[in-house]
Structures are given as structure tokens and as C-alpha cells.
Structure 1
């Protein structure tokens, strides 16, 4: 799903900081990944988009549904791909193994030249649909194995607010049992947990307690977590480390973390400006190579998003997360290396 229905992260009241970071990837991640959404007018064709990724040295992409134009364009490109199963498919996948098997044949097996990395079973699923995530993941994993594609890992992309008590980071735990069961399944399969991490929404929701510098990787704030003795200088690391704490609490410290979305809007809302977006996103690119205080080392991370998408639903900020405009001109200066 091309980030349709993205829901802003609603964080608990933060006493000054929650910081996030990305865990080490199974493969060496040579550059940061970028999400490719298609909810915009006059976006370039997928074939040009793939060439554009390669011209920028971006070697990882996330798409939000089985976009056949993108899949054809990605064939032979060696760009590692995270592909979502749309939320609308979860019920069928959970209850009908044949539906998962057919989807694999049509959308994965049919594209042998695509470097599939992970399949995300749902994006930011909420409410009663969360009951379908794990059975859908199991049926999809079985379908991939039956098709000889067992090397493709199956996960789900969770909202950050699956974490309760995220401040201080060492206190983090999953606020619902279904996430603990998902983590336990991932521990058995070797797949990472995907989580969307947005310091922007934490800052815009509680700017009284969270400084802009702390939210955008700028110096000025230092916080020590009395629970683990670690020192935090940015909100992203604090948020990410609270996820690691939740994985530990669930008895699954071996599960890797992948930040499946992070970004900052350049217009449309409080704190959304070209300057802040440029500062945050460049800081993100430069920062994730080193990981977090709790988990040093490269953290696989996907920025949201490649293009501004003027047909996005929701708050006005949703239309302004792009690094580039539809004509491929930069929304602001950014370097990927």
C-alpha cells in the first residue's frame, strides 16, 4: 500500500526525549533506503524512478503494494526491495493459505530478476485486524517456502505506538500481546521487525518537552537513561532503543530491527519546513551508519519518501514528505553518502 492511510504516531507524554535508531541489517546496507510512494500527480514512470534511484546511489527501496510497473522496472537492478502486502489482503491471507500462495506466484515468483529482501504483511495495522497479522505472516512464509523462495523474510511494518512506556528508552515494552507473539515468530524465522519511527510526530505533538534540536539531530540536549546508564543526544535513538527494550522484554533480544519509515515534512504543519526537513533527513542519513547507544553498528533504514505526493490523504503534511518533486528536482539539498 503506497503509504495510503498513514496514521501519525501518537506518543505518550514524553518527559523530554525518546530516541530511535536502526538495528544492524543482515546484509551490509551500503546506503540508506528510500520509500517509493505513488499517490501523486505527474510522477515519473517507474522505469525512470529506478534509474533515478541508481543515479543517486540508493540501493534499497520500499513499495506499498505489488506494483507491477515497479517490479518490472526493478528486474535486474540489484536494488534490494521491501514489498508490502496491502492491509486489505490480510483477512484472506490469514484464513486462506491458497490466497497467500496465489499472491506469491503472481507477485514474487513471476519476477525472478527482483532482489526481494522482505515482504511486509500489513503497514501500521490497527484494531481487530491485528489478529490477522500473525496467521497471514505464517501462511505467506509457508507459501514462499513452497515456491522455493524461503530466503525472502516475512515481517510486518508496525506503528511506533505499539511501544508502551517509551520514556526512558529502557522501560519500553509492547502494549499488546499480539506484538509479543509476532516477535517470537520472527525469532524463529530470522526475520527482522519493521517499525515506522517518526520523531517529527513526537516533536509536533509535545514541543513543550521536546526540543527541535533534539528531534533533528542537532546538538544541545543530552539525556541519561537511569535504567541503563546510556546517554542520548537525539530523539531518534531514544525511540529506537525503546523498541529494542520491548524486544528484550518479550524474550526475543535476537530479533533485528529495521526502521521501515522515517522522515520529516517540508511544509503543511507545525515544525514542517524545508530547513527542518533538510536538517532531519541529512542527520538521519549520516547517523544510522553508527546505530544507537544500545545497539551500535549500521541500522537498516528507509526514508519516507522519494517524492512529494499531492494526492495523499490525511493531514496536509502527508503531501510534503518527499525528498524530490515529481519532476525529480530536489525539494531541498540532500546527499546520500
Structure 2
């Protein structure tokens, strides 16, 4: 990252350099304020955070409430993962969480703060919901998640730890991928391979 940034600067270009990390780099994510990188990841993440903070570049984080839900269905309510009003409300100090996306994103912010990256912005580089192939994977749930996500991240509400701003977010993925392993991995697309939408998008 340092060498790439230096090469870009030497070419008189202004392009931010970053990297994408999975939520699996965190050893703790609940409650969000306790978010922390795993011991093995901390030294590298501290170096990355220092570079990003100094250059004012964002960190890219892949945030998948779907996997949190199917990994612990007894404790992670489906409505909470889909941005729907339900029984789950997480109180974490002065912050209140009504959806899992915000909770996961803020856990990553908390982990960044603990390695010196309090001023680093997070860009959600991947998120989505599968439309088939596994538990809670359906066209209805995928459409609900993505439409509610789009409304939420463009609302300007931000997250409880970073209120009052849009959350730059990228949806995975444009198309279903039939050459991936059978199961949910084939069904993250907004479209089938023939360009037909899998579900209707309400915010375009």
C-alpha cells in the first residue's frame, strides 16, 4: 500500500489507496463498542490504520449481516438483519441499534479506534443478501434487505457512532454466478445472467 501510494504520487495522480477487510478480522463485534481486531490482525491493522489516517484515505470493509444471521439464528433475529422493525433493539451505552448493518459497521469503527484509526472513514465495499441456496436466502428477503439498505445508507442518518452522514456502500453483486460452488454463493446477484432483475429495486 505504501509503495503503491508512492508510485501514484510520483505519477502526479491523486487516487486514494486502500484495502478491503472482512468482518472475520474482528475477534469481538458485540456490543459494537467492544469491536476489536483479532490479536493476530492487530499489528498489521495498526500499520494500515496509520497510513489511512495520515493520508485521509478510507478503509474498505465487507459487511454481511446474512452470514451473522445464519451463523447464529437463535440470537440474531431475521428482522434485525433485514432492517425491519422487530423485537431486537441493542442498547450499547448511549447508542441504540435497530439493525445489524449499523451494529457491524460500528464494531469495525470501534476496532479501528483501538488501533489508532479513530479518524479513518469506513466504506462498505461489499454487502448483500442471497436470493436462493440456503437458510433465509429468498428473493423476498434479498429484495427486502437491498431496498432497505439503499434507503438507510442514503438517508444521511449514518450509524450511531458516526451519525449524520451517508454511508458509501457497494452491493454485491451485479449478477448471479453459476460457476461458483452450489448454494448461496451462486445467488447474490441483482440480475440473472440474461439481464433480468432478480427483484425490483425501489431506489433507482
Which TM-score band (shorter chain)?
over 0.9
Distance, in Å, in 2 between the alignment partners of 1:142 and 1:184 is: 15
Identify which of 214, 231, 235 aligns with 2:96.
231
Distance, in Å, in 1 between the alignment partners of 2:125 and 2:12 is: 26
Task: Give per-residue Cα distances to partners, 1:311-333, cap 9 Å, x unaligned.
Answer: 12x45211100011122211011
**1:241 aligns to what SS in structure 2?**
helix
Confirm or deny that 1:218 pairs with 2:84.
yes
Distance, in Å, in 2 between the alignment partners of 1:167 and 1:230 is: 13
Distance, in Å, in 2 between the alignment partners of 1:142 and 1:315 is: 42
Q: Comparing both chains, which one has the higher relative contact order based on Cα–Cα distances under 8 Å and sequence gaps of 6 or more?
A: 1
In the alignment, is the contact (CA less than 8 A) between 1:162 and 1:179 conserved in 2? Answer: no
Counterpart position of 2:116: 251
Number of corresponding residues: 197
Confirm or deny that 1:141 pairs with 2:5.
yes
Which sections of structure 1, spanning at least 5 residues, go unmatched? 1-136
Counterpart position of 1:317: 184
Quote how far apart the aligned CAs of 1:249 are. 1.2
The aligned runs of 1:19-38 (5 Å cut-off) are none
Task: Give per-residue Cα distances to partners, 1:3-61, cap 9 Å, x unaligned.
Answer: xxxxxxxxxxxxxxxxxxxxxxxxxxxxxxxxxxxxxxxxxxxxxxxxxxxxxxxxxxx
Q: Which stretches of structure 1, 4 residues or more, deviate above 2 A after TM superposition?
A: none
Quote how far apart the aligned CAs of 1:246 are. 1.1
Counterpart position of 2:30: 167
Quote how far apart the aligned CAs of 1:164 are. 2.1
Distance, in Å, in 2 between the alignment partners of 1:155 and 1:256 is: 11
Identify which of 301, 310, 317 aligns with 2:169.
301
Distance, in Å, in 1 between the alignment partners of 2:123 and 2:133 is: 28
Choose 1 or 2 for highest CA Rg.
1
Confirm or deny that 1:280 pairs with 2:148.
no
Counterpart position of 1:77: none
Distance, in Å, in 1 between the alignment partners of 2:147 and 2:107 is: 23
